């Protein structure tokens, strides 16, 4: 990894260089009921619209890699068969500007399933390959527990990672493309003072974490507590709305549906992201539902993320971003659920 330092007024120049491609970045989307700014990722054309001081976004950046609905194939009677749908933007470079470490780690986890597995998703893989990612050091919110999940820093999965040192940025450069962009703005080699300032910023960030999840030996605890009353207690509160999976940067489950035109001349095959908390997630042919109760579905979600995925990849499928808990109208949060399961209900 290469390190560089550059003055803050070089950042708009870097943005303008990158803006030859579509740039996706955090922007403000109004305020909540308490007047606190809300942020989300969106396509940005002007550096002035960027909110690099954002805390978290309502949705993760997942939708730029895994759209909620994606046409896979179309069928027409004229052509006599299914025709694969090719996303014309799939090979075009895009830029994701200002992704926090938790969200970069979420993509690294998705890669394990959608790129590095026996059944890769070529749509996701192409978008991932062509996304130039600039990471950004975050300021944790009270809901963030990424430090408990080991995802508060990113070692890979980005091109460049920036830390705000006050009057300058400390840049970690990981890819050749990032190196080439950096060669076009004014940078300097970091010195001892820069290293000390970087360490001070990270130490200050680490001191801000409030939420925690005790993830030590959690897989064993989950094996022991499969019948814990905590699952029913939390599950009975669940509204089965699926919002948690919608905002989660690591949820990737989907269903494939085929819709036939009313005049029977064509059809469309669509992949649609699903949520294991939705009532029909485990319905099979014949109408049988393997998980008819909300507590069974909620339990399944936790066992996938904190038990099954750990068994397969030695890491949890949760980066501790806190989005699900914040969005849940029933007040269900990962730290609270895991704590009560640990306590045996
Ligand atoms: S957001 Fe909350 S209420 Fe909705 S499905 Fe998820 S856990 Fe249940
Ligand atoms: S489960 Fe919740 S806290 Fe964990 S990554 Fe998904 S949204 Fe974030």
Return d(Cα 293, Cα 303) in angstroms, integer: 16
Q: What is the pLDDT of residue 80?
A: 83
**Domain check: are 33 and 128 in the same one?**
yes
Q: What is the pLDDT of residue 2?
A: 95
Q: What is the pLDDT of residue 188?
A: 98
**Domain check: are 167 and 244 in the same one?**
no
| Ligand 2 center from residue 284 Cα (angstroms) | 27
Classify residue 199: in a domain, yes or no. yes
Q: What is the pLDDT of residue 336?
A: 97
**Domain check: are 8 and 114 in the same one?**
yes
**Domain check: are 41 and 96 in the same one?**
yes
Return d(Cα 269, Cα 205) in angstroms, integer: 46
pLDDT digits (tens, 9 = 90+) for 229-258: 999 999 999 999 999 999 999 999 999 999
75 CB burial (10 A radius; 0-12, 13-18, 19+): middle
Beta-sheet pairing, 23-31 with 94-99:
parallel
**Domain check: are 111 and 168 in the same one?**
yes
Phi and psi at 299, nearest 5°, equal -60, -40
Ligand 1 atom 7, closest CA? 238
pLDDT digits (tens, 9 = 90+) for 184-219: 999 999 999 999 999 999 999 999 999 999 999 999
How many separate domains does the chain show?
2
Ligand 2 atom 5, closest CA? 318
151 lines ligand 2 (CB under 6 A): no
Q: What is the pLDDT of residue 89?
A: 58
**Domain check: are 199 and 309 in the same one?**
no
Note whether 305 and 318 are within 8 A (CB): yes
172, 206, 240 — which closes off a domain? Answer: 206
Residue ranges for the chain with pLDDT beneath 70:
86-91
Residue to probe by mutation, ligand 2, list 248, 298, 306, 339, most atoms within 8 Å of CB:
248
| Ligand 2 center from residue 315 Cα (angstroms) | 14
Note whether 138 and 319 are within 8 A (CB): no
Residue to probe by mutation, ligand 2, list 211, 308, 320, most atoms within 8 Å of CB:
320
Closest atom of ligand 1 relative to the 245 alpha carbon? 6
Classify residue 98: in a domain, yes or no. yes
Orientation angle between helical segments 334-342 and 229-237, nearest 10 degrees: 160
110 lines ligand 2 (CB under 6 A): no
**Domain check: are 189 and 222 in the same one?**
no
Please give the model's pTM, rounded to 2 decimal places: 0.95
Q: What is the pLDDT of residue 83?
A: 85
**Domain check: are 176 and 240 in the same one?**
no
Rg (CA), the chain: 22
Residue to probe by mutation, ligand 1, list 232, 242, 246, 273, most atoms within 8 Å of CB:
242
Classify residue 272: in a domain, yes or no. no
HSE (side-chain half, CA atoms, 13 Å) at 344? 0
| Ligand 1 center from residue 67 Cα (angstroms) | 20
CA angle 201, 19, 1 (to 5 degrees): 40
Note whether 22 and 95 are within 8 A (CB): yes
334 lines ligand 1 (CB under 6 A): no
Return d(Cα 175, Cα 200) in angstroms, integer: 26
Domain that holds residue 193: 2-67+86-206
**Domain check: are 194 and 225 in the same one?**
no
Q: What is the pLDDT of residue 86?
A: 65
Residue with tokens 């269900």: 332
337 lines ligand 1 (CB under 6 A): no
Return d(Cα 130, Cα 92) in angstroms, integer: 6
Classify residue 211: in a domain, yes or no. no
Which residue stretches of the chain are H helix? 11-18, 101-114, 122-129, 146-149, 176-182, 192-206, 218-224, 229-237, 243-247, 294-303, 309-313, 323-327, 334-342
């Amino acid at each position: 990894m290469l390190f560089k330092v550059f003055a803050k007024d070089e950042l708009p120049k870097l943005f303008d260089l990158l803006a030859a491609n579509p740039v996706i970045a955090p922007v403000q989307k109004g305020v909540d009921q308490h007047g606190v700014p809300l942020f989300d990722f969106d396509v940005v054309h002007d550096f002035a619209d960027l909110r690099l001081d954002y805390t978290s976004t309502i949705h993760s950046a997942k939708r730029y890699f895994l759209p909620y609905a994606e046409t896979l194939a179309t069928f027409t009677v004229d052509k006599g068969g299914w025709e694969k749908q090719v996303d014309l933007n799939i090979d075009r470079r895009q830029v994701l500007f200002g992704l926090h470490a938790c969200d970069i780690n979420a993509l690294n986890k998705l890669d394990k399933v959608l790129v590095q597995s026996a059944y890769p998703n070529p749509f996701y893989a192409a978008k991932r390959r062509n996304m130039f990612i600039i990471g950004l050091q975050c300021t944790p919110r009270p809901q963030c527990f990424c430090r408990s999940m080991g995802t508060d820093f990113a070692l890979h999965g980005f091109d460049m990672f920036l830390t705000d040192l006050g009057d300058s940025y400390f840049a970690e450069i990981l890819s050749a493309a990032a190196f080439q962009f950096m060669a076009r703005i004014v940078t300097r080699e970091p010195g001892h003072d820069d290293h000390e300032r970087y360490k001070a910023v990270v130490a200050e960030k680490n001191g801000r974490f409030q939420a925690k999840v005790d993830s030590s030996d959690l897989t064993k605890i989950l094996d022991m507590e499969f019948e814990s009353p905590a699952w029913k207690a939390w599950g009975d509160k669940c509204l089965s709305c699926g919002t948690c999976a919608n905002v989660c940067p690591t949820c990737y489950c989907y269903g494939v549906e085929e819709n036939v035109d009313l005049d029977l001349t064509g059809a469309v095959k669509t992949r649609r992201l699903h949520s294991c908390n939705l009532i029909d997630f485990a319905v099979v042919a014949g109408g049988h539902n393997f998980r008819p109760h909300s507590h069974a579905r909620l339990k399944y979600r936790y066992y996938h993320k904190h038990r099954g995925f750990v068994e397969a990849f030695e890491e949890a499928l949760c980066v501790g971003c806190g989005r699900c808990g914040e969005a849940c109208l029933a007040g269900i949060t990962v730290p609270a659920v895991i704590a009560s399961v640990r306590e045996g209900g």
